[in-house]
Amino acid sequence: MKKLRAVLIQTPLWIYFVISVYPLVWMISYSLKNNDEIFVTNPFGFPTHFRIENYTAAWSQFNIPRYFMNSFIVSSISTLLIIVLALMFSFAIARMRWKFRESVRLYMTIGMFMPLQVIMIPLAILVRDFHLTNTYGALIVPYVAIGLPFSCLIFYGFMKSIPGELEESACMDGANIYRMFIQIIVPVVTPAIATVAIFQFLSNWNEFMLAYILISDEAMKTLPLGLLFFQGQYSTDWGGMGAVMTIASLPMVIIYLFFSEQVENAMTVGSAVKG
């Protein structure tokens, strides 16, 4: 009876697992086939012959390494700046007492609901006037501005849950406000930092619309933008397209594997700190 109950409970979970993993498996399988297998002979099965040449051709014949490096530079710098600035801002509004702090917090929160379409034209004009067009700064500055409201909201919630006794103990030990921030607050919110790092890096890595508007130089294109033109020009090489998409997905999978435990901890860190 217990085994039957366990099977009944686990069956929906296994179905959900298969549905969730199948797109990733299909993409990898698709990247190892030729056009005949993809469309005619074997569209849904595993490849009958593993065509590794799809990967070597995608990497060597097109500008994928350059697109990959541009995406990595833009996403890494943007994510680092978002974390640093959001941490300092959240500390100022969550743990310090000063006039207008609630107004400033509300102003930052409103930014989270601002549609990207509304700021496109003013942003393009600003980027042009500051001579940032076709530079890394053309994407890094907007990505940081767009990512700050959501990140501040997460850090603010975590920092508000930290008991004041920690700061009082640090003050009794002679810690100033900078030491308190770096050695007391930042280590406590490490799970939140991991969560923000994953969300913001993936968001910046996949961003397409701003890159399409602000970047026109071939050498400065990011991976999503480069894939668009790759598809239009070489639309018959579907196996190569699958290989490029698999390569583009690898950093996201690796980052999630490294930080998944921290994200799970983020779900319970608030109650843990209070306890």
Q: Are 263 and 198 in contact (CB under 8 A)?
A: yes
* Tens-digit pLDDT profile for residues 208-227: 888 888 888 888 888 887 77
Binned at pLDDT 50, 70 and 90, residue 272 comes out as very low
- What confidence category does residue 267 fall into, taking pLDDT thresholds of 50, 70 and 90? low
Per-residue pLDDT, 92: 92
Query: HSE-up of 246 (CA within 13 Å, CB side)?
Result: 22
Q: What is the mean pLDDT of residues 96-118?
A: 85
- Give the integer Cα–Cα distance in Å for 166 and 33: 58
- pLDDT at residue 80 greater than cutoff 70: yes
Q: Of 34-38, 78-82, 209-213, 268-272, give the lowest mean pLDDT range.
A: 268-272
CA-to-CA dists, residue 25 to 22, 184, 195, angstroms = 5, 43, 25
All structural domains of the chain with their residue ranges: 63-230
Fold of 63-230: MetI-like fold (1.10.3720)
Q: What is the pTM of this model?
A: 0.79
Burial class (CB in 10 A: 0-12, 13-18, 19+), 20: exposed
- State the pLDDT confidence band at 149, using cuts at 50, 70 and 90: very high
Higher pLDDT, 189 or 39: 189
**Residue 162 in tokens:** 């930290």
User: What pLDDT was estimated at residue 266?
Assistant: 60
